[in-house]
Structure 1
Amino acid sequence: MSTGSQTYDDSSAPASVQPDDVDTDTAETECPTLTAAVSVGRVQRFLDAIRTVNDEFQLEVTPDGMIGNVVNDSRTTMGSVRLDASGCESYQATAGKITIQTSRLREVTRMTSNRDVMRLTLDGDSQTLDIEADGVECSLQMSDSGQMPSVSELGEADHPSVCVLEGGELKRIMKAAGHVATEVGFRIEHTCERFVAEAEGDSDRLVAPAVPVASTFDLGYLRQIRRPIHKRTEVTLALGTDSPLLVAFDIADGAGHVEYSIAPVVADDGEESDE
């Protein structure tokens, strides 16, 4: 229970109104408005799924909910994290996009309990995002600086193969592969309905390849996105030959959804074997 109000203004890490030259599906660039109340626990899950890719992200506000779009610095991993209006205790918004940092919001979540309610108020006129939870208050001033890369390509790659497994199984695959290699290959064998992960080091081998691997991925990027996946969470993997890996799972008791797209490792021409 809070005994007082802790307030701070942060102008050093401002949120940013999405500039006109960013690729969007609509012509709107006005700052959205938002009045929402949501549990701190769900905000924490939302932020954890985003910050595993990057601290800075684009918050897309819609009347149906909030979407966090994020890209890592090397642009090899993209993410889209959705929290539906149904997952909030109250929610009212007009559409628009701003760029913001998870670190400032996480300062509030760290000082509160998961059961507390966080109130978010985004005023398009004053261009201020006000945050309050259990007496802790924070105001983020928005500016015209900052620009997020587009994540419109997320999910557009060809994914002819799909499998579903528990988060714990995926974590075990990554841990085992990490003992012998820095890269792991995924494929789905439709004839026997089997999902295969392959990793090969200088002298050790996790699984002996029998057919060409569909796609190979850097384990470092996979380890990053495994953090917000709980062991009992149902995870969908969508694969294609030399195509990005799509990893999807639900959060917030089904009121939220996460999708990551990870670029495959592509061998240089010089790495091909001589004949």
Structure 2
Amino acid sequence: MFEARLPQGGLMKKILEALKDLVVNANWDLSAEGMSLQAMDNSHVSLVSVLLQSSGFEEYRCDLNCVMGIQLATMIKVMKCCNNDDSLKMEYKDDPGDSVTFTFESPNQERTSEFTVKLMQIDSEHLALTDDGYDAMITMPSAEFQRICRDLSAFGDAVTIAVIKNSVTFNASGDLGAGTITLLETNSEKEEEKVQIEMDNPVALTFAFKYLHYFCRGAPLSPLVKLTLRNDSPLVVQYDIADFGNIRYFLAPKVTDEDEAA
């Protein structure tokens, strides 16, 4: 038996919006610790991982570890029927275990909606995501990251992120020209406006804008985004969902002409 309740269903809508461009079908892993999801995009270039801790729910019960396979598009359609301030209740019973029920209730309890969605058997490979440290880590406003990706994508299909000392540079170039945006560390009194840079080693890696645009869909979940870079390793873009968990995107770096020549 699995039951979970959120006082504001709008949060789950934001989480699904952050996944929809990358994930078609996915398994939600349910346990006493919470809900988690891990899935690769169809091209197997990027991976997304979601963790929703049981402590972040108003009510949470999971008697046995189980897997809930679902088509994300269907789940999104159901969640569109939920107003942002409606409460959300999810129920999944082991017997027969072929469906999940979503119940939405308005704040004044005058309106209740219930939807049942059939579940799927989904074959998926679960990767062990280990923390192997970093060469550089940047924490910056989510809105600023969105703006950089939007502005620089006019000049190319990829961006090089380079970190040296107390600065991070985003550079894109193409047939139309080139664009460069450099951010320095700031000590703003407002936490959501800070730019923090931690560097163990200089790093410069190139990534496809196509996927970074998808990753920017996680911005409504958190005012800050964390970029973790490690030479010859995937970029990790992480949004922490306050008191609830996080969503992390992983993207392999592009192989540049210089890399191929070497």
TM-score by length of 2: 0.80
Aligned to 2:116: 139
Question: 1:200-239, aligned counterparts within 5 Å?
Answer: 200-207=173-180, 214-230=204-220, 233-239=223-229
Give me the whole-angstrom Cα distance separating, in 2, the residues matched to 1:56 and 1:196.
36
Aligned to 1:68: 37
Give me the whole-angstrom Cα distance separating, in 1, the residues matched to 2:52 and 2:172.
35
For the Cα contact (< 8 Å) 1:182–1:220, is it kept in 2? yes
Q: Deviations over 1:78-115 (max 9, x none)?
A: 11112222221210113222321222222222122111
Aligned to 2:109: none
Q: What amino acid maps onto 1:244 in structure 2?
A: P
Q: Deviations over 1:135-184 (max 9, x none)?
A: 322223335x32123232x3556522111100111112111211111100
Q: C-alpha root-mean-square deviation of aligned residues, in Å?
A: 2.5
Aligned to 1:80: 49
Quote the sequence identity (%): 23
Aligned to 1:267: 256
Give me the whole-angstrom Cα distance separating, in 2, the residues matched to 1:123 and 1:213.
48
Aligned to 1:48: 17
Aligned to 1:167: 142
Question: 1:111-126, aligned counterparts within 5 Å?
Answer: 111-126=81-96
Tell me whether 200-209 or 127-136 shows the greater mean CA deviation: 200-209
For the Cα contact (< 8 Å) 2:4–2:89, is it kept in 1? yes
For the Cα contact (< 8 Å) 2:27–2:38, is it kept in 1? yes
Q: What amino acid maps onto 1:125 in structure 2?
A: D
Structure 1 residue 256 displacement after superposition: 2.5
SS at match of 2:219: coil
Moved over 3 A (4+): 154-158, 267-273
Q: Deviations over 1:13-51 (max 9, x none)?
A: xxxxxxxxxxxxxxxxxxxx3111113112212222222
Give me the whole-angstrom Cα distance separating, in 2, the residues matched to 1:92 and 1:269.
53
TM-score by length of 1: 0.77
Aligned to 2:3: 35
For the Cα contact (< 8 Å) 2:27–2:122, is it kept in 1? no
Relative to structure 1, is the Cα distance of residues 64 and 242 closer, same or farther in structure 2, using a 3 angstrom cutoff?
A: same
> Alignment length, in residue pairs?
234
Q: What amino acid maps onto 2:252 in structure 1?
A: A
Relative to structure 1, is the Cα distance of residues 140 and 111 closer, same or farther in structure 2, using a 3 angstrom cutoff?
A: closer
Structure 1 residue 269 displacement after superposition: 8.3
Structure 1 residue 268 displacement after superposition: 6.3
Q: What amino acid maps onto 1:197 in structure 2?
A: F
Give me the whole-angstrom Cα distance separating, in 2, the residues matched to 1:86 and 1:215.
37
Question: 1:153-192, aligned counterparts within 5 Å?
Answer: 154-156=129-131, 159-190=134-165
Q: Which runs of 5+ in 1 are unaligned?
A: 1-32
Please state if 1:99 is matched with 2:69. Answer: yes
Q: What amino acid maps onto 1:34 in structure 2?
A: F
For the Cα contact (< 8 Å) 1:250–1:258, is it kept in 2? yes
